C-alpha cells in the first residue's frame, strides 16, 4: 500500500485532481468498475438460476475468471515492458466490450449455455491480465511520485464505489430484465473506459530498446528475482496470495449460500453486497490519512489483523435480518483490504525502477491473483463435499491467518516504508 511522505498542504494534497490525464483515467475506471460489479453479480446468478449450475460448476466458473493470471501474467509483464502502455489499455477495453457483449446477444437468441460463460470468463480474463499489468505500470507515467498514494487511494475508492453501486444496480437489472441482459452495462462501461483513455494527452516515453540477444525468459526471471529477493515484497506477496486464495474459496460459494441456504431474493443479494462494499469506499477515501497517522509500514499488517475476525460474521448468518451479518462482514473486511492494497501497491510503484514496472507488477499478479482460480476451485470442490457454510468458515479462518506473513516480517519493527532512494543509499547497501 504506500511509501513515506512528508506532510503536505491542502493544495498539494488535492493537486492530483488538477491532473487532467489522471482524471480521465480515473473517470473511465469508475464507470468500468460499476459495470464490472454488475457482471460479477449477474454471471453467477445467470449460472445458478437460469442455467441451473451445480456448486462445482459455479466454483469452476469463478476459477476461470482468474485463470489467465496464473497462465500468462509473467510473459504479459515482459511484453508490456516492451510496449507503450496506453494502447494496451485501449485494446484490452475494446476486446472486453466485445466478449462480454456476446452474452446478451446469445441470451436474446436463446442459445446461451454454460460453456459460453466459461469461454467468456477465460477470454475476458486474458484481456484483464494485460490491462491490469499495463494499468499499474502506466499510473506512474501520469502521476508524480509524491501523489501515488493519493492517486491509488482514489482509484481504490472508485473500485469500491463500483462494488457499492454495481450489485444493487445489477440486482435491480437482473430482477427487471434477467441476468443475461444486465451485463450489457458492463460491455458499455468498457467502451467508456476506452474513450477516456484515448483522450489522455501526456506523452508516454518509448520503452528502452531491448538487446536482440535478450530472451523473454530472462526478462521474466528479472522481474521474479526483484520481487522474491526483496525482504519486504516477498512477505507482502505471501500475505496477499494466501488471503486471495481463501477469499476466492469463500466467494466461489457465497452466491449459492445466499440463494439456496439463506433463501434470499436477487434484489436483497444486491443490497447486501452494496452495503458491504461501502467499506471499500470508506477505506479508499481514508487510506492516505490512515497511513500517515498510523505509519505506512505498520498499517500493512495492522489492517489485516484487525479486519480478519469480521470475516467470521458471514459464516453465522441466517435467513431474515441475519443477512445483515453478511453485509457487516463484507463492510469490515473491505475496509481492511482497500487500506492494505493502497499502501502495498503504492510502495511497489515507488521502489521499482521504471523499466521493470511491468515485470514487477506481473510477477506479483502472477502469484497473488494466480492463487484465486485455485482458491475458487478449492471452494467449489470443498462446498460439494463438506457443505457451503463449512467452506465459508475455512475461507474466513484462512483469510485471517494470512496476516501472519506480514506480522512476522521486517514490517513489524517499522513505522513507515522506505523509498527507492532510501534502499539505494550507501548505508542501506552496506547493511543489505
Q: What is the pLDDT of residues 180-192, one digit of tens each?
A: 777 888 888 889 9
Which is higher by pLDDT, 15 or 335? 335
* The predicted structure's pLDDT at residue 4: 37
Picking from 173, 220, 269, 211, the residue whose alpha carbon sits closest to that of residue 76 is: 220
Picking from 359, 331, 196, 207, the residue whose alpha carbon sits closest to that of residue 272 is: 331
For the domain bounded by 17-202+215-431, which CATH number is listed?
1.20.1250.20
Picking from 152, 147, 153, the residue whose alpha carbon sits closest to that of residue 136 is: 152
Does the structure show a pLDDT above 90 at 30?
no
Q: Up-side HSE of residue 176: CA atoms within 13 Å toward CB?
A: 8
* The predicted structure's pLDDT at residue 165: 65
What distance lies between CA 279 and its chain's CA centroid? Answer: 15
Helix, strand, coil distribution of the chain in percent, nearest 5: 85, 0, 15
Query: In whole angstroms, what is the distance from residue 190 CA to residue 170 CA?
Result: 16
Which is higher by pLDDT, 53 or 116? 116
C-alpha cell of 225?
528475482
Give the end-to-end CA distance of the chain in Å, rounded to a whole number. 23
Average pLDDT over residues 141-165: 73
Cα dihedral 403, 405, 406, 412, rounded to 10, equals 110
Picking from 183, 189, 184, the residue whose alpha carbon sits closest to that of residue 131 is: 189
* The predicted structure's pLDDT at residue 195: 93
Picking from 269, 388, 299, 366, the residue whose alpha carbon sits closest to that of residue 3 is: 299
Query: In whole angstroms, what is the distance from residue 154 CA to residue 137 CA?
Result: 16
Query: In whole angstroms, what is the distance from residue 90 CA to residue 417 CA?
Result: 33
Instruction: Tell me the pLDDT tens digit for each residue of 62-93.
Output: 778 777 777 887 888 778 877 888 899 999 99
Counts of helices then strands in the chain (DSSP H, E): 19, 0
Q: Contact 403/278 with Cβ under 8 angstroms?
A: no
Mean pLDDT of the chain: 80
Query: In whole angstroms, what is the distance from residue 131 CA to residue 175 CA?
Result: 31
Q: Is 156 exposed, middle or buried (0-12, 13-18, 19+ CB in 10 A)?
A: buried
What's the whole-model pTM score?
Answer: 0.67
Instruction: Tell me the pLDDT tens digit for each residue of 104-145.
Output: 888 888 888 888 888 988 898 888 888 888 887 788 888 877
* The predicted structure's pLDDT at residue 11: 40
Amino acid at each position: 500500500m504506500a511509501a513515506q511522505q512528508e506532510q503536505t498542504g491542502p493544495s498539494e494534497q488535492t493537486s492530483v485532481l488538477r491532473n487532467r490525464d489522471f482524471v480521465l483515467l480515473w473517470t473511465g475506471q469508475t464507470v468500468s468498475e460499476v459495470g464490472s460489479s454488475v457482471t460479477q453479480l449477474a454471471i453467477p446468478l445467470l449460472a445458478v438460476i437460469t442455467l441451473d449450475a451445480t456448486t462445482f460448476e459455479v466454483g469452476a466458473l469463478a476459477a476461470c475468471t482468474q485463470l489467465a493470471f496464473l497462465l500468462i501474467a509473467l510473459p504479459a509483464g515482459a511484453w508490456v515492458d516492451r510496449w507503450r502502455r496506453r494502447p494496451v489499455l485501449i485494446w484490452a477495453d475494446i476486446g472486453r466490450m466485445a466478449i462480454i457483449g456476446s452474452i446478451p446477444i446469445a441470451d436474446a437468441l436463446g442459445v446461451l449455455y454454460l460453456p459460453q460463460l466459461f469461454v467468456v470468463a477465460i477470454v475476458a480474463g486474458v484481456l484483464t491480465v494485460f490491462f491490469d499489468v499495463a494499468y499499474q505500470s502506466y499510473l506512474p507515467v501520469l502521476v508524480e511520485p509524491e501523489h501515488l498514494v493519493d492517486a491509488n487511494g482514489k482509484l481504490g475508492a472508485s473500485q469500491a464505489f463500483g462494488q457499492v453501486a454495481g450489485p444493487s444496480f445489477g440486482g435491480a437489472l437482473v430482477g427487471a430484465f434477467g441476468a443475461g441482459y444486465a451485463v450489457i452495462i458492463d460491455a458499455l462501461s468498457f467502451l467508456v473506459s476506452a474513450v477516456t483513455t484515448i483522450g489522455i494527452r501526456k506523452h508516454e516515453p518509448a520503452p528502452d530498446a531491448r538487446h536482440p540477444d535478450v530472451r523473454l525468459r530472462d526478462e521474466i526471471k528479472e522481474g521474479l528475482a526483484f520481487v522474491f529477493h526483496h525482504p519486504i515484497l516477498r512477505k507482502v506477496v505471501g500475505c496477499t496470495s494466501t488471503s486471495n486464495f481463501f477469499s476466492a474459496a469463500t466467494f466461489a460459494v457465497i452466491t449459492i449460500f445466499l440463494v439456496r441456504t439463506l433463501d434470499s431474493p436477487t434484489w436483497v443479494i444486491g443490497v447486501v453486497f452494496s452495503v458491504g462494499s461501502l467499506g471499500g469506499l470508506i477505506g479508499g477515501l481514508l487510506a492516505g490519512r490512515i497511513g500517515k497517522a498510523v505509519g505506512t509500514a505498520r498499517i500493512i499488517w495492522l489492517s489485516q489483523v484487525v479486519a480478519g475476525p469480521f470475516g467470521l460474521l458471514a459464516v453465522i448468518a441466517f435467513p431474515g435480518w441475519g443477512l445483515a451479518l453478511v453485509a457487516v462482514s463484507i463492510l469490515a473486511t473491505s475496509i481492511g483490504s482497500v487500506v492494505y492494497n493502497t499502501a502495498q501497491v503504492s510502495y511497489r510503484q515507488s521502489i521499482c525502477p521504471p523499466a521493470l514496472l511491468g515485470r514487477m507488477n506481473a510477477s506479483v499478479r502472477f502469484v497473488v491473483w494466480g492463487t484465486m482460480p485455485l482458491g475458487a476451485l478449492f471452494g467449489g470442490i470443498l462446498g460439494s463435499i463438506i457443505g457451503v457454510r463449512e467452506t465459508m468458515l475455512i475461507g474466513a479462518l484462512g483469510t485471517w491467518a494470512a496476516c501472519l506473513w506480514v506480522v512476522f516480517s521486517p514490517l513489524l519493527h517499522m513505522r513507515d516504508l522506505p523509498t527507492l532512494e532510501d534502499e539505494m543509499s550507501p548505508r542501506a547497501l552496506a547493511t543489505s
